[in-house]
Structure 1
Amino acid sequence: MANGEGALEHALRWREELWPGVPVVFAMLDATQLEKLGQPADVTGVVTKNSLTGAIKAARAVMPGLDTIVLVGDSWDRQALFRHWGMEIPAATAGLTVIDLVGQKMSEIRKRVAELPERSAIVYSGVFSDGEGTYYPAATAMEMIAEAANRPIIVGTEALLAAGGIGGYGLIAAEIGADAGRLALRILDGEQAGEIAPVVWEARPLFNWKQMQRWNVSASDLPEGSEIRLREPTFFERYRWQSMAIFATLFLQAGLIAFLLHERHLRRDAEAEARKRMSELAHVNRQTTAGELSSSIAHELNQPLGSILANAETAEMMLKSENPDLAEIGEILADIKRDDQRAGEVIRRLRSYLTRTPFEAKEIDLNLIIGEAFKFLSMQASARNIALYLQTSPGELRIRGDPVQLQQVILNLVVNSMDAMAGLPYGRTVIGRTELNGGSTVEISISDSGPGIPPDKLAHVFDPFFTTKHQGMGIGLSIARTIILAHKGRIWAENQTGGGAAFRFILPLGA
């Protein structure tokens, strides 16, 4: 097997002496070179077709408006693969300016290619010597020239792409060698070499992706069927399985997040609906409590109204006298105004307590809210012969909450304490306290002097519909717990050491 014209000539010259009767398979031989050998007997191989015309076509593709071709290589008589290009120059370069650097020294070539005109391209056939006694492979010389060149370099073999060539119609040595190997196997299988027609291998358009980026050449500008080599793989191509795993993980995470967001949306809707139902149930509970306190409320209103009536009648009688005492009448009018304001305050507290409002958290003073609730229940406690005391922490206790609902919790707890002491003949006392608990929370307690809570029922007092009253609904304490939990607090019940029960709850202080 002979690779190239020189090897084939050597094999044919010495075949009769060294290898008589042995067939020859050649590769890397141009058609004109084979014709020159005169069709030797018992020889076949791979004939390559790689013309200068193809190199010019590639140069026009990578350099729009091409007007100058620069020929770089050893002298044509020293060329092996591209010797025939020297004969093709006139026809292939018609209409173009030709700068001939063939056979020049390396130093001169590097100097000239660094100063080439703008619309020019270099056609490289192969330099094997610097002209001053140094020899090297064509790829090494190619690298030296590419380093200095200011224009793209057209090459004719695949091996020169990595050395700095932008591409061209190139020969692929591995494929040509494979074709030659297949021909040799046919001969080894018994076929006659002289009867096997040579395989014609035409150069294919091959281009260097890195050089295309350097010279801003688009793939759409290349000849049809071009193959782009040395392309840097994308991240996905380089790490395909890892990327697929990452994308799969992200997809699953996105699906999980979407599912969780959907569930969160449903939960928020459910919580909003639950708060709405709780607000409605709490309003019903407030109406029930107001109904239970109606006699006390009526009594509390009757006192200022009766006083207003008595003062009005007195003033009317005084005005009928000949010399009415205007100063005393003024005092009477002041009393009427004060009693009117007192009745109006009772109505205001009742209206505020019965107002149906959604849960609305805002900055409030807890001491003020509890004070309002105790004032509201003062007449009820007095009618039941119950002593009602309130001991608040000094200063304001600022929390964030709903004033109406928190006032309802206090009313429920105090009314339950008063109901629990209904059977006591005397000593009925309810005490409310507020105090700071560690600087970040406030503790509220409602304690009484009643019989306490049976130990077996202590754990169930906040359960819905659990009650010890004969006519109770069992929702007051359950609503109270729901309200405290909605305020991010905690509520519990306990029996006191000295007797009676105590209900306590903790709420976070405002910022």
Structure 2
Amino acid sequence: MVTIRSRRVAWLATVFLLTFARSALAAAPSQKAVLCLIAEAPSNAYYTALYRGFREELDRQLPNAVLLYSENLDLPQFDSPQYRRELTRWLRYKYRDVQFDAVMVAGSPALRYLMSERLWPEVPTYFVSANDKVVRDMTLPPNVTGQTVVLSLPDTAFLIGQLFPRTRKVALVANPAGRDTYRPGMADELQALTARYQLIDLRGLPVEQVRQAISRLPDDAVIYHQTYTLDGTGRRFDPYLALNLALQRANRPVFVDYAAFVGTGAVGGAGIDSAALGRYGARDMARLLKGEAPSSIPLRRRSFGPVVDARALDRWKVDPGQLPPATTILYREPTEWERYRGEILGTAALIVTLSLLILALLFERTRRERAVAESRQRLSQLAHLNRGASAMVYSAAIAHELNQPLAAIMSNAEASELFLRADPPKLAQAREALADIKRDDRRAAEIIRRMRGMLKRTDQVAVPVDMRHVVSDAATFIAPEVRMRQATLRTAMPDLALPVQGDPVQLQQVLINLVINAMDAMDALPPPERVVEIRADEPGQQGGWIRLHVTDRGPGFAGDIGQVFDSFITTKEHGSGLGLAITAAIVREHGGRIQARNLSPFGAEVSFSLPLAQAGSTKRGN
């Protein structure tokens, strides 16, 4: 009894497991097996791009549903009957246990081989990149379809004429006549070429002679480099390597057939895009794997527009306007709009948003102005009173500061008269004197303009400025006066920027006033001892301030140093007492501090400090 019951339990368990396994197999997606037969070796750039395009597109069409097997037959390199027999034997042995759902064939040699050897005759077959003439001369079985390409020498000849209209000769670099696997109709194509150009036929020559010939071509010639795998001595080459060898020596533009070879230095050509052929083929292959019959997919003839290298066009000075319609330009530098389209649109959106925000703030400000109208009126009255109190200092400053340029103008005018009265007239000296008059006139006008601006706070210029530049400009401006007084002006500036916020012309006037005041103090000294120095502390030594010092070797300040910046306080015989007062006023207008001290054993120093501005925001003054 126990034995019978155990057998029944085992039988029911077996039935359950078989049913579950059948359901699981039915639910799991079936994986398709596709064999790819590629005519060339794996190193061939054209077929590498074709296979990559085929594989990527097929995975998009049927994600994770296809298992690809690939074989590089290398038929152009090894074309003996014995090699083909051994290759067939090996492929049948290698894939004896694999049931293929479809076969993809790339290249005319691979298609001819498959049809002649009758490998997998019952499996649906799709071919890509097969020469159109080769396929038209074949009788294809019902389960074979695909797409063909046309290698048209007349199309290349037309492109040559468009880009280089002065061309009269075409140097042809190709396999020896009759040995070109991919150009069975070469004889007919050459007739179309020779009808338009003089042919320099380099086929059948050793590669060394080919390279030498294309390095000495005349200016009215171009080079047409076809798929070159065999030279006149029987040596074989990878077509990509052969093209590079030619480009190293070519002295004229080079044209090719395939887009995969554009970018090596060739100008361009008919532009057969092997990667695109692979993608087209993958879409038709997906239809076969979904169950469509090969006869429902018609034979297609693929054509491509010209492809050119933008860098080669620049090298040979070809106007892009000469390109035929539908030409693809590779390696072209994108325009600013193409490169930063997203950033430009984002910036524009930000500007619009900020503009709307500003409008909202302006509207709110208008509302608030009604509430603060009384405070604003009082503030305006206080500002008016402040300008009135400053007017006495600044109006007197104009007369004080204009004395030097006006005196120089008068002196140069008198000198000009003397030069012009001389016999013969001294025109060169007169021109120099007139140039000095123009310079001093501009200086006087600038002083008046800037000093007038100081009377109105709203007219004051406040920009980021590097005090090193202000010192340099002031030293240049005062240099003629320094030379006239037989003095020496030295500057000592740090390497780092001295950024402040202020009016560069007024800050220059501070330094000019201090230098003139220092030279006035040294009038009684011998010329070698009349030295004025402008020195700046390293940034950071004064915390958030920038500090400059102007020193001299004169007798120093007499009396109470605390009053030297007061108006009408002077120790000079003809001084107005306004120079240092104006200097102090400008410094304070810029939020700074100024002080004076006597040096030991002699000399004086005036130093002033200005608030430090943000680094990196300064610009050259004036």
TM-score normalised by structure 1 residue count:
0.51
The equivalent of 1:332 in structure 2 is none
Is this contact kept in 2: 1:51–1:85, CA < 8 A? no
Separation of aligned partners in 2, 1:112 and 1:20: 48
Give 1:510 deviation, angstroms. Answer: 8.6
Give 1:100 deviation, angstroms. Answer: 0.9
Q: After the TM superposition, which residues 90-101 of structure 1 pair with which residues of structure 2 at under 5 Å, given as runs?
A: 90-101=191-202
Separation of aligned partners in 1, 2:328 and 2:213: 30
Q: In structure 1, what residue type is equivalent to 2:206?
A: K
Is this contact kept in 2: 1:489–1:507, CA < 8 A? no
The equivalent of 1:218 in structure 2 is 319
> SS state of the match for residue 127, structure 1?
coil
* TM-superposition CA deviations, 1:60-83 (whole Å, max 9, x none): 122122211211111243323333
* TM-superposition CA deviations, 1:417-469 (whole Å, max 9, x none): xxxxxxxxxxxxxxxx95124xx9557999xxxxxxxxxxxxxxxxxxxxxxx
> SS state of the match for residue 165, structure 1?
coil
Give 1:38 deviation, angstroms. Answer: 2.5
* TM-superposition CA deviations, 1:377-404 (whole Å, max 9, x none): xxxxxxxxxxxxxxxxxxxxx989xxxx
> SS state of the match for residue 298, structure 2?
coil
Give 1:43 deviation, angstroms. Answer: 1.1
The equivalent of 1:103 in structure 2 is 204
1:227 aligns with 2:328: yes
Give 1:362 deviation, angstroms. Answer: 5.1
The equivalent of 1:359 in structure 2 is 395
Is this contact kept in 1: 2:307–2:329, CA < 8 A? yes
Equivalent of residue 177 in structure 1, options 253, 268, 278: 278
Q: What is the aligned-residue identity percentage?
A: 25
Give 1:84 deviation, angstroms. Answer: 2.4
Is this contact kept in 2: 1:71–1:99, CA < 8 A? yes
The equivalent of 2:482 in structure 1 is none
> SS state of the match for residue 240, structure 2?
helix
Give 1:215 deviation, angstroms. Answer: 0.8
- Classify 1:106/1:275 alpha carbon distance in 2 versus 1 (closer, same or farther; 3 Å): same
Separation of aligned partners in 1, 2:390 and 2:267: 83
Give 1:232 deviation, angstroms. Answer: 4.2
> SS state of the match for residue 112, structure 1?
helix
Equivalent of residue 436 in structure 1, options 561, 564, 567: 561
Separation of aligned partners in 2, 1:214 and 1:149: 13
Give 1:128 deviation, angstroms. Answer: 1.3
Is this contact kept in 1: 2:167–2:221, CA < 8 A? yes
Separation of aligned partners in 2, 1:13 and 1:279: 106
Q: After the TM superposition, which residues 378-397 of structure 1 pair with which residues of structure 2 at under 5 Å, given as runs?
A: none
Is this contact kept in 2: 1:69–1:97, CA < 8 A? yes
Separation of aligned partners in 2, 1:234 and 1:97: 40
1:13 aligns with 2:146: no
> SS state of the match for residue 142, structure 1?
helix
Separation of aligned partners in 2, 1:445 and 1:210: 74
The equivalent of 2:185 in structure 1 is 84
Separation of aligned partners in 2, 1:177 and 1:185: 12
Separation of aligned partners in 2, 1:206 and 1:105: 29
- Classify 1:171/1:63 alpha carbon distance in 2 versus 1 (closer, same or farther; 3 Å): same
Separation of aligned partners in 1, 2:567 and 2:197: 101
Is this contact kept in 1: 2:171–2:223, CA < 8 A? yes
Q: Tell which structure's C-alpha radius of gyration is larger.
A: 1
- Classify 1:442/1:104 alpha carbon distance in 2 versus 1 (closer, same or farther; 3 Å): same
Separation of aligned partners in 2, 1:233 and 1:108: 40
Is this contact kept in 2: 1:187–1:193, CA < 8 A? yes
The equivalent of 1:58 in structure 2 is 159
Give 1:41 deviation, angstroms. Answer: 2.9
* TM-superposition CA deviations, 1:337-391 (whole Å, max 9, x none): xxxxxxxxxxxxxxxxxxx8973425879xxxxxxxxxxxxxxxxxxxxxxxxxx
Separation of aligned partners in 2, 1:195 and 1:489: 92
- Classify 1:36/1:250 alpha carbon distance in 2 versus 1 (closer, same or farther; 3 Å): same
Q: After the TM superposition, which residues 102-501 of structure 1 pair with which residues of structure 2 at under 5 Å, given as runs?
A: 102-132=203-233, 134-232=235-333, 277-278=385-386, 280=388, 359-361=395-397, 435-437=560-562, 441-442=564-565, 486=585
> SS state of the match for residue 395, structure 2?
coil
Give 1:129 deviation, angstroms. Answer: 3.4
Q: Which runs of 5+ in 1 are unaligned?
A: 253-270, 284-355, 366-397, 401-432, 447-481, 491-504
Separation of aligned partners in 1, 2:134 and 2:191: 20
Give 1:54 deviation, angstroms. Answer: 0.4
Give 1:200 deviation, angstroms. Answer: 1.5
Give 1:32 deviation, angstroms. Answer: 1.0
Q: In structure 2, what residue type is equivalent to 1:149?
A: A
Q: Which runs of 5+ in 2 are unaligned?
A: 1-103, 354-378, 402-511, 515-557, 570-580, 598-604, 608-622
The equivalent of 1:73 in structure 2 is 174
* TM-superposition CA deviations, 1:26-46 (whole Å, max 9, x none): 111122111221344321101
Is this contact kept in 2: 1:8–1:26, CA < 8 A? yes
TM-score normalised by structure 2 residue count:
0.42
Is this contact kept in 1: 2:129–2:149, CA < 8 A? yes
* TM-superposition CA deviations, 1:276-308 (whole Å, max 9, x none): 65465789xxxxxxxxxxxxxxxxxxxxxxxxx
Is this contact kept in 2: 1:110–1:149, CA < 8 A? yes
Give 1:240 deviation, angstroms. Answer: 7.5
Give 1:201 deviation, angstroms. Answer: 0.6
Is this contact kept in 2: 1:399–1:510, CA < 8 A? no
Separation of aligned partners in 1, 2:173 and 2:588: 89
The equivalent of 1:24 in structure 2 is 125
- Classify 1:273/1:47 alpha carbon distance in 2 versus 1 (closer, same or farther; 3 Å): farther
Separation of aligned partners in 1, 2:219 and 2:251: 9
Is this contact kept in 2: 1:444–1:506, CA < 8 A? no
